[in-house]
Amino acid sequence: MCRTLATFPTTCLERAKEFKTRLGIFLHKSELGSDSGSFGKFEWGSKHSKDNRSFSEDVLGWRESFDTLLSSKNGVAAFHAFLKTEFSEENLEFWLACEEFKKIRSAAKLASRAHRIFDEFIRSEAPKEVNIDHETRELTRANLQAATAACFDAAQGKTHTLMEKDSYPRFLKSPAYQHLVAQASAAASSASSCSPAEPSHT
């Protein structure tokens, strides 16, 4: 247990623990989707939440901007579950695949992975075909002739914009996220009220 938590009254620690437990249950039974496994990657590990305040701020931070949501492992998991209810999870999965693709340093692996991503998300009738225009699709196809880390940039940008302007606002308004916000706000207030008093120097 970190020192900050060690100084909290036991009742406050119990409230923090209860929030995390309720959040986990909610994520598996949420109206975000019937597939309980969709939240499998949504975990409140110690490296993500050292105390009640940090993990509640993570949830509340998702509404600041779409990029803030994407920068949160938990946020991505929750957003992915929401997209599954709209049958549009392929957009996020493609965006994430592109992010991983950019980290590849081997030219051979880059070319191989580029073709797999194209076949899975870009080509017509692909199993997880993303919603992009014909021009962008053909540009991406041409880029595969000499695959580089940037060959999916145009298509990735299109899906990012689509999610940011379309799916993201609906996610923020969804009952499931609003429920999370309510719980996170309560947890933040609890952490604030339970903060140990400053030691007296008199």
Count Cβ neighbours within 10 Å for each residue of 47-69 and write b for 16 or more, e otherwise: eebebbbebbebbeebeeebeeb
User: Residue 57 above 70 pLDDT?
Assistant: yes
The residue among 166, 179, 182 whose CA lies nearest residue 86 is 166
Q: Tell whether 200 is covered by a domain.
A: no
Its domain, for residue 59, covers 10-32+49-85+174-193
- pLDDT at 201 (0 to 100): 52
Structure tokens that stand for 36 in this block: 């309980």
- Give yes or no: residues 94 and 60 share one domain: no
pLDDT in tens, 172-193: 999 999 999 998 888 777 766 6
Give the pLDDT band (50/70/90) at residue 46: very low
Q: Tell whether 39 is covered by a domain.
A: no
Worst-scoring range by mean pLDDT, 25-39, 102-116, 121-135, 139-153?
A: 25-39
CATH number for 184: 1.10.196.10
pTM: 0.71
More confident residue, 54 or 112: 112
CATH number for 151: 1.10.167.10
- Give yes or no: residues 61 and 106 share one domain: no
Q: Tell whether 199 is covered by a domain.
A: no
More confident residue, 120 or 50: 120
More confident residue, 42 or 119: 119
Q: Tell whether 70 is covered by a domain.
A: yes
Worst-scoring range by mean pLDDT, 14-18, 59-63, 70-74, 138-142?
A: 14-18
Angle, CA of 77, 70 and 153, to the nearest 5°: 120
- Give yes or no: residues 114 and 158 share one domain: yes
As a whole number, mean pLDDT of residues 77-87 equals 95
As a whole number, mean pLDDT of residues 119-126 equals 96
Q: Tell whether 77 is covered by a domain.
A: yes
- pLDDT at 24 (0 to 100): 53
- Give yes or no: residues 141 and 100 share one domain: yes
- Give yes or no: residues 62 and 110 share one domain: no
For the chain, how many structural domains are there in total?
2
Side-chain half-sphere CA neighbours of 195 within 13 A = 9
- Give yes or no: residues 115 and 183 share one domain: no
